[in-house]
């Protein structure tokens, strides 16, 4: 569309130039040197307009490819750090339980006390809910010129949870490098909402596209509190999740990556 508009404008300019100079450039049914010059200049303008369009598109494509490569590199680093963190924490918990003669059975979700070499005494621990963003819980639902629509899915593991009170500041980067924040309405959850054990709730939200170019990625911080179904215990949630809109991959962000994004959120005023 942009290329067609540029060529159309150039052709119109050429026609107007010819019409305004017709008597001067056309004599005895033969084109004068001046007429040939006008025609050549207008053809040159059309070629330059087309070349400018293609070079601009190539520059945008190059910037997007570079940004894509940087995000993939950052994502791989985050996933590696996450895996290493999980292994370290699992080893530390296992070692601590072993010192006191216990072992955690992740399959039956029971804390087992080891007595001697053969007999075991099972102590069933009370379940507490764990509210998290579900796996692949941040997705693009619809893309329009002026806004993007996403869905965020929250899951409650181990037990049901309710009385969810969260805030969700976001930060977006588009394909031209613009960085801006947005206030998202997913915080408006009903007070009596109950998310059953191992189930989830989906919230749909939209983000304006002020520059009318493709979004590259969006990062959302989910921070707040929730309670167990009996409403006698309060728990916290604080997760940063990112979605690459080029590869359509999402990931939980931690460490240096998380710190830099939080700092940028504070800098542009969407998080305090």
Convert the pLDDT of each residue in 204-256 to its tens digit: 888 888 888 889 999 999 999 999 999 999 999 999 999 999 888 999 999 99
The structure tokens listed for 122 are: 């099972």
Same domain assignment for residues 57 and 104: no
Cβ pair 101, 121 in contact under 8 A: no
What are the residues facing 127 on neighbouring strands?
none
3-class secondary structure, 44: helix
Same domain assignment for residues 253 and 132: yes
- Provide the pLDDT for residue 34: 64
Same domain assignment for residues 93 and 159: no
Residue 97 structural domain: 89-123
Same domain assignment for residues 136 and 262: yes
The answer as to whether 36 is a domain residue is: yes
Could you tell me the CATH number of the domain that includes residue 187? Answer: 2.60.40
**pLDDT band for position 160 (50/70/90)?**
very high
- Count other Cβ atoms within 10 Å, centred on residue 163: 17
- Provide the pLDDT for residue 100: 60
The answer as to whether 82 is a domain residue is: no
Per-residue pLDDT tens for 167-199? 899 999 988 888 888 766 445 688 889 999 999
Count how many domains the chain has. 3
Same domain assignment for residues 135 and 104: no
Q: Which range among 54-58, 179-183, 263-267 has the greatest average pLDDT?
A: 263-267
The answer as to whether 205 is a domain residue is: yes
Cα gap 223→167, rounded to integer Å? 6
Same domain assignment for residues 135 and 264: yes
- Provide the pLDDT for residue 89: 62
Cβ within 8 Å of residue 79, ≥6 positions away: 251
pTM: 0.56
Per-residue pLDDT tens for 227-240? 999 999 999 999 99
The structure tokens listed for 9 are: 């404008």
Same domain assignment for residues 136 and 45: no
The CA radius of gyration of the chain, in Å to the nearest whole number, is 30
State the DSSP code for 167. Answer: E
Examine the fold and report which residue of 66, 81, 105 is the final residue of a domain before the chain moves on. 66
The structure tokens listed for 211 are: 């520059």
């Amino acid at each position: 569309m942009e290329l067609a508009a540029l060529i159309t404008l150039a052709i119109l300019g050429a026609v107007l130039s010819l019409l305004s100079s017709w008597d001067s450039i056309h004599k005895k049914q033969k084109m004068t040197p001046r007429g040939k010059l006008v025609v050549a200049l207008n053809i040159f303008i059309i070629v330059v307009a087309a070349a400018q369009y293609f070079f601009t598109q190539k520059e945008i494509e190059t910037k997007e490819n570079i940004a894509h490569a940087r995000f993939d590199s950052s994502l791989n680093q985050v996933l590696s750090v996450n895996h290493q963190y999980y292994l370290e924490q699992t080893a530390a918990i296992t070692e601590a339980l072993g010192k006191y003669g216990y072992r955690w059975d992740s399959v039956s979700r029971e804390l087992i006390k080891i007595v001697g070499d053969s007999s075991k005494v099972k102590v069933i621990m009370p379940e507490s809910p764990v509210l998290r963003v579900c796996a692949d819980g941040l997705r693009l639902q619809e893309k329009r010129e002026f806004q993007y629509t996403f869905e965020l899915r929250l899951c409650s593991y181990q037990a049901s949870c309710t009385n969810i009170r969260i805030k969700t500041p976001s930060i977006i980067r588009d394909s031209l490098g613009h960085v801006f924040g947005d206030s998202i309405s997913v915080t408006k959850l009903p007070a009596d909402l109950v998310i059953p054990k191992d189930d989830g709730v989906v919230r749909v939200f939209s983000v304006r596209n002020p520059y009318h170019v493709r979004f590259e990625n969006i990062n959302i911080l989910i921070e707040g509190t929730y309670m167990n179904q009996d409403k006698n215990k309060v728990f916290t949630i604080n997760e940063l999740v990112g979605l690459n809109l080029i590869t359509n991959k999402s990931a939980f962000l931690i460490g240096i990556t998380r710190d830099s994004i939080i700092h940028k959120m504070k800098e542009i005023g969407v998080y305090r």
